[in-house]
Every structure is written in C-alpha cells, then in structure tokens.
Amino acid sequence: MVNQLKRELGVTGAVLMGLGSIIGTGIFVSVGIGAGVAGPSVIAAIVLAGLLAVCNGLSSAQLAASHPVSGGTYEYGYRYLNKRLGFTAGWLFLLAKSASAAAAALGFSGYLLSALNLDGNLRVPLAVGAVAALTLIILGGIRRSNRLNAAIVTLTLLGLSAFIAGGVLKVDARNFSPFFTAQADSGFSALLQATALMFVAFTGYGRIATMGEEVREPLRTIPHAIIIALLATTGLYSAVALISIGLIGAPTLAAAVESSAAPLQAAAHAAGLFFVEQLVAISAITAMLGVLLNLILGLSRVLLAMGRRGDMPPAAARLNNAGTAPTIAVVTVGAVVSLLALTNSVWATWSFSAFTVLLYYAITNLAALKLPLEKRLFPRAIAWAGLGSCLFIAFWVEPMIWLLGLSLVAIGLLWQTFAQRRWRTAATP
C-alpha cells in the first residue's frame, strides 16, 4: 500500500493556504507587467482573468472533491482522460509553477532591497537564499508550514488594506485616460495578452486542489475554500489595481517593474504616502514569501504523485519518517526554482508561466467534462467556458514564449516514454 499524507487542514487552513498562494506576485509585480502591456485596461484584464479563474476554480473544486489526492490535474488527467494528458498536466504544472516560484523569489528580493536601499546586484543571491530557507521549513511538514502561512497572509492583507485606504483620496482620474492602448497590435490584443498575464496571479487556488490528500472532509472543504479564496482575491486585485494606476499612471507603474520590481512601493512613494510605503514593502515581502512557500509545497506534491506513478523516479514519492513531507521531492523542487531564479528576469519567468499554466487548466476543464453525473457539482457549461477560454487566451502571449512551451511539452512526452519503461514495475497502477 502507498503511504498516505496526514489530513491536517480544515476550511480555514485551506483558504489561508489558497490566499497565501494567490495574494503575492500578482498584486505586487504582475499588475505592473500587465500595465506595461495594456495600460489602464489592465483593470479590465484583471476582471476577465478573474472570471476565467472562477470557471477553472469550479472545475478544480469538483475534480478535487471527487478525487482528493495529491497531484491535482495530473491525477485527474490519468483518472478521467488518458496517461498522455495526465502526464502532460503534471509536466505543465512543474514547468509553470517552477517559473512562478522563481518570479516570486525575485520579487521578494526586489522589494526587500528597495525597502532597505541596498544594491540591486544582490537580488539573485537573496532570492536563492529565500528558496533555500523555505525549502528547509517545508521539510518540517505541513503543520509547521501552515502556521507560517497564516502569519504571512495576515501581514499581507494589513499592508494592502493600508495602501487602498491611504491612496483612495489621491487617485487622479486623468491616469485612466485613454483607457485602452494601442501599444500592441491593437488595444484588443493588448487586453488579451494582459489577461493571460494576469490569470497567473489567480492560480494559487490550485494549491488547495493539489493538496487534496491533506485536507479534512475534502468534499466540503475543497470547493468552499477555492470559491472563498477567489472571491476575496478578485475584489482585492481590482481595488489595488485601481489605486496604483490612479496614483502614478500605467507607464510609471510599468517602469517601476523594470527598475526595482517594486511597483506598488513606487506608487505609494510618489503619492507621498511614506508610512504606507513602508507597510506596502513589508506586506510585499511577506506575500512573496507566502507565494514561494505554497508553490514549493504544491510542486513537491505533484512531483510526489508523479513518482508514485512512475513518471518520475520512485524516490520522489518517498516520505519522511513522520509521513508529513516528501523529502526528495521538496529538495528537488527547491533546487530547480533556485536555478530558474538565476535568470534574474521577472518578465520572462512570468510570461512563460502564463502560457504553460493556461494549458494546464485547459486539461483541468477537459477532465471536468468527463466527470460522471453523480460526481458533478456544477453545470458542464462552466467547464466548457474554462476550456475554450484557456486555449484561446494562452496563445496571446509572445510567440517566442509559446513556441518554447510547446517544445518543452514535446520533450516531456519523450521523457514519459522513457520513464514508463524504466520505472513501470515500481509505479502505482
């Protein structure tokens, strides 16, 4: 019998885990990236991305509730589709979220160095150090990690609330005109590209689904936690985007990403909100740590599931003596994220994550369409909307990015052929 992880999370803990994954790079960095692409219409892109996230979240919720094991869409693909699509989902998750984790690590170091007025050349070493520290914490097990996550989410929400309250009276309506931009081929294509980029900022709810083996009463806990986390973050994202663009305008917000990777801090500083600026810096730092913590957790659980099935070396499925953490999987994920952080490019890692995660959720929705009637919690139209939207939006990122992504998918499928032959006897049927 395969060792099982302990079920330790209830609804509150699962919501906090989702919030800790969602509220981070999306607010503190990618809003600036999206503003550079679409101008003020990035606000509309956030709404569109939120709607897409709701469709995907509901598909993920019913899949996780019906099949509550670690691995997320990787496991759903195997169960409801076929082994090729199942593997592709797991491979895409590893690609997408490793890139997101690297972006979060670089964002954390950028905000910290900006707050302390230290040399920006320290960004990469500090990012790698953060990955190493959180990897060690996660090796201690989910209970220890969840307590840290709750503290991080609390600090983050306090800082963002201060930013909204302090900036609302200083918003300049002129910063929203013109609302749509022709910076790309057209304002419409810019909006769609920004939607793809902003969608990544909502995908932290997937941590709840991929950790389905560790929550209590999964049929109730998983759907409730995902929906609550999405509603809360959609409102928060919209408010923060409105305030930040209203304070300094989209071009200045985008320029701050390039110069310091700390756009919200720059917005607070330019508006003269110096006390708020410090709170924003603290909340950004804690948020990035929260995202990084939860990404490493989610990645290690997918790698665990792939090791169990034989798509990765069986050693990846090995748990520690307490049965609380897959040691080799956690260490491997930490090493990969550290290597990606060496690129020192928030834009490249975030764009690559956007394409690959949209393909991942396309497979999620496809699996949801295959759910038997007795296990379906929501109408099939939701999964159809999620599937079509993911496939459509994904290819609005730069061609260089999606060509690289498709090439890596092909490499992954070649790897699966080798892995299944090499480790089939050790795999779970």
> Which residue in 261, 347, 340 sits closest to 299, CA to CA?
340
Paired with 9 in beta bridges are 215
pLDDT at residue 428 in the model: 46
Does 64 score more than 50 pLDDT?
yes
The answer as to whether 327 is a domain residue is yes
User: Would the pLDDT of 301 be above 90?
Assistant: no
346, two tokens: 């928030």
pLDDT over 60 (residue 145): no
In-domain check, residue 3: no
As given in the structure block, the two tokens for residue 82 are 């076929």
Contact present, 285 and 112 (Cβ < 8 Å): yes
Residue 223 within any structural domain of the chain: yes
Whether the per-residue pLDDT at 116 is higher than 90: the answer is no
State how far the Cα of 48 lies from the Cα of 32, in Å rounded to an integer.
17
Q: What is the CA radius of gyration of the chain?
A: 20
The interaxial angle of helices 263-270 and 250-260, nearest 10 deg, is: 120
In a domain, 1, yes or no: no
Q: Which residue type occupies 103?
A: A
- Domain assignment present for residue 34? The answer is yes
Residue 353 belongs to a domain with what CATH number? Answer: 1.20.1740.10
Q: Which tens digit of pLDDT belongs to each residue from 184-218?
A: 457 788 899 999 999 988 887 766 765 666 777 77
> Per residue in 149-168, pLDDT tens?
677 778 888 888 889 998 88
In a domain, 5, yes or no: no
Q: Which of 272, 54, 49, 17 is nearest to 170 (CA)?
A: 272
Q: Which domain holds residue 76?
A: 11-423
User: Residue 132 — pLDDT band, cuts 50, 70, 90?
Assistant: very high
CA angle 327, 333, 338 (to 5 degrees): 130
Task: Report the run of H or E that residue 408 belongs to, with start and end.
Answer: helix 399-423
Average pLDDT over residues 360-370: 94
Q: How many domains does the chain contain in total?
A: 1
DSSP string, 103-130: HHHHHHHHHHHHHHT--GGGHHHHHHHH
Each residue of 312-355: pLDDT tens digit?
888 888 887 777 778 899 999 999 999 999 988 888 888 999 99
pTM recorded for the entire structure: 0.85
- For residue 218, is the peptide bond before it cis, meaning its omega torsion is within 30 degrees of 0? no
Is residue 132 included in any domain, yes or no? yes
Is the separation of the CB atoms in 30 and 357 below 8 Å?
no
